[in-house]
Structure 1
Amino acid sequence: MTLEAAAANPSYGTSASGSSFYAAMRILPREQREAMFQIYSFCRQVDDIADSDGPRPERLAALQQWRDDIDALYRGDPPPRLADYVASVRRFDLKREDFLAIIDGMEMDVPQDIRAPDLATLDLYCDRVASAVGRLSVRVFGLPQDDGILLAHHLGRALQLTNILRDIDEDAAIGRLYLPLEGLLHAGITKFDPPKVVADPGLPKVCAPLVERARMHFQKADEVMGRNSRRVVRAPRIMSKYYRAILQLLVERGFAAPRRPVRLNKIARLAIVLRYAFI
C-alpha cells in the first residue's frame, strides 16, 4: 500500500477529500495542488491493481501497461489517462524513474504476497512505495534538490513504517506480513503464517524496533524541514505531524492482541492543519 491509502480516482480532489493527504495538499497553490493530485491518483490506481484479488498474471500485465504508459508519457506521446500529466511533468521536472519505482514497489506484492521480508527488502519496499512518491512530491513543493531527496528518504520511510505498524491486522487478513524477518526471529517467531504471527505474544517485541526506526526517520525529516522555508514545507509537515500522532497512538495502545484500530479524530486532524497550514 502507498503512504496514504484513502480511496481515490482520476477526479482527484473529490475522491481524496476524507484523507490527510487532501487536507495537506489543499493549502498549495493551484498548479502545485493539481500536480500532487495527479501523483496521488497515479499511486492510487497502481496500488489498486496490486491490492486487487484478480489473477496475479493479470495484475502483472496491468502494472506493465502502466510502465508502458509512463514511457509513452516521457516520449511525448501520452495515453489519454496521462494526458493531463504533461504540464506537471514539464513544470516540476518530475522524473520518469520515480514513477517506475512506484510501480516496481507495488509489484513486489503481486507475484506472491510479501511475508517476513528481511530488513534490506523491507527498506527497498519503503523506498519504492513511499520515498519515491516523496521524490516526486518535493519537486512540486519546491525544495532544493539535495534536501528534497533527503526529506523524501526519511519522511517516506517514517510514514510507511507507521502504515505497517497501523495495518498489521488488516494486512494479515489478506495474507501479507511486512514485519521484518530479523525481528520475528529475535522474538522467537519462526513460522510466518500472518494470522498466527499477529496473534503471537512476541509481537510487541517485533514492533518496538520499528517504532524506534520510524521515530528516527521522523526526527531526520524534521531536521531537513527545519532548515527550509516554512511555506515550502507546509504540506509535508502536516503529513509528518499527522502520522507521528498516529504512531504515538499506536504506542499508547500497545501491540499485544487484541488490538483496537487506531485513528486520529477529526478535531486532532483539524488542529494539525490549522497550526501548520498558514505559517
Structure 2
Amino acid sequence: MNQQATSTPAKHQGVALSSSFYAAMRILPREQREAMFQVYSFCRYVDDIADSDGPRPQRLADLQQWRDDIDALYNGTPPARLRDYTASVQRFGLKRKDFLDIIDGMEMDVPADIRAPDEATLDLYCDRVASAVGRLSVRIFGLPENDGLSLAYHLGRALQLTNILRDIDEDAGIGRLYLPREGLLAAGITSTDPQLVIAEAALPRVCAPLVARAQSHFKRADEVMNRNPRRLVRAPRIMSKYYHAILRLLIARGFDLPRAPVKLGKASRIAILLQYAII
C-alpha cells in the first residue's frame, strides 16, 4: 500500500519494505541475502502496481501477469524478470502459493480501496501482505518448518498491525481505512468514511484492541525466536525490535488528536542493529 520491504514500509508488505529491511538483511550470508532481496523486489513490483493511480482494470491485469509469471517460474520457464529467482526457489524450497498470496493481498485494495474491513478480512489481508512474506523469509533463514510458520504467522501480523496503527492518518488521506468494522461499531462509530473516522473522539477505543493484539503477536514471535539458534533469527529479531519500538512510541503518543507522526530515530535503529547483528 503506502507499506512498505518495509523509512515508510509498504502497507501491503507488513514485511516492512524499508530501511529497516535493508539493515536486517545486509547481515545475512550472501545466498540468503540475495534471495531476500529477490523477495523484496517482487514485493515492491506488485505493491507499486496496487498503489499506482492507474486505471483499476489495468492494475488488475498487471497483477494477473505477475501470477502468470510466477506460474511460469515454477513450471521451469521463468520470464526474464524472474530468471534469477530459479536458484533461490530451488535452494530454499520457496513455495509458489506464498508468492501468489502476496499478489492476492496487494489486489485486495485494487477493485476498491479497503474501508473498515470485517475482522476476518483484516486478518486475511495481514496474512497475505505480511505473513506470506514471512513464510518465504523463514525458509531462507533456515528455521525449522513448524517454528518458521509460527514465526511468520505472528511476526507478520505484529508488523502489519503496527503499520496500520502508525499510518491511520496517511491511509485516510488516500481513501483507505484498515480499522475493523466491528471495532468501529463497538466504539459507537457508524461511518466508514476515512476522513470522518480519524476525527472521531472515540478512535482510541478502536485502536486499543489492535494494540493489544499486536503486542500479543510480538510476544508469541519472541517465544519462537527465543527457542531457536540466534544465527537463524538475527534478521527477524531486528525487524521485530524495530517495529515493537514503533508500537511503543505509538502507545506513548496515544491516538487522540492531534497525532504527531511517529518514527524510530536513527540512534535507536543503530542500537538495535548492533545488539542483534552479531552472532
Q: Could you state the TM-score of these two structures normalised by the residue count of structure 1?
A: 0.95
**Contact 1:130 / 1:159 at 8 angstroms: preserved in 2?**
yes
4+ long deviations beyond 2 Å: 1-8
Residue identity (%) = 76
Structure 1 unaligned blocks of 5 or more: 9-15
Q: Equivalent residue for 1:248?
A: 248
Q: Equivalent residue for 1:224?
A: 224
Q: Equivalent residue for 2:237?
A: 237
**Contact 1:3 / 1:160 at 8 angstroms: preserved in 2?**
no
Give me the whole-angstrom Cα distance separating, in 2, the residues matched to 1:209 and 1:54: 35
Q: Equivalent residue for 2:154?
A: 154
Q: Equivalent residue for 1:273?
A: 273
CA RMSD of aligned residues (A): 1.3
**Structure-to-structure mapping, 1:72-91, within 5 angstroms:** 72-91=72-91
Give me the whole-angstrom Cα distance separating, in 1, the residues matched to 2:162 and 2:224: 19
Q: Does 1:19 align with 2:19?
A: yes
Give me the whole-angstrom Cα distance separating, in 1, the residues matched to 2:5 and 2:262: 15
Q: Equivalent residue for 1:49?
A: 49
Once the two structures are superposed, residues 39-91 of structure 1 have per-residue CA deviations (whole angstroms, 9 ceiling, x without a partner) of 01100110111111111000000000000000000011111111110110010
Structure 2 unaligned blocks of 5 or more: 10-16
**Contact 2:49 / 2:63 at 8 angstroms: preserved in 1?**
yes
**Contact 1:3 / 1:156 at 8 angstroms: preserved in 2?**
no
**Contact 2:5 / 2:43 at 8 angstroms: preserved in 1?**
no
Q: Equivalent residue for 1:98?
A: 98
Q: Does 1:61 align with 2:61?
A: yes
**Contact 1:154 / 1:221 at 8 angstroms: preserved in 2?**
yes
Q: Secondary structure at the match of 1:192?
A: coil
How many angstroms does 1:6 deviate by? 5.3
**Contact 2:6 / 2:20 at 8 angstroms: preserved in 1?**
no
Give me the whole-angstrom Cα distance separating, in 2, the residues matched to 1:5 and 1:180: 22
Q: Could you state the TM-score of these two structures normalised by the residue count of structure 2?
A: 0.95
| Number of residue equivalences | 271
How many angstroms does 1:5 deviate by? 3.9
How many angstroms does 1:258 deviate by? 1.6
Give me the whole-angstrom Cα distance separating, in 1, the residues matched to 2:183 and 2:75: 44
Q: Structure 1 residues 167, 158: CA separation in 2 closer, same or farther (over 3 Å shift)?
A: same
Q: Does 1:30 align with 2:43?
A: no
**Contact 1:175 / 1:194 at 8 angstroms: preserved in 2?**
yes
Give me the whole-angstrom Cα distance separating, in 1, the residues matched to 2:7 and 2:253: 23
Give me the whole-angstrom Cα distance separating, in 2, the residues matched to 1:3 and 1:24: 15
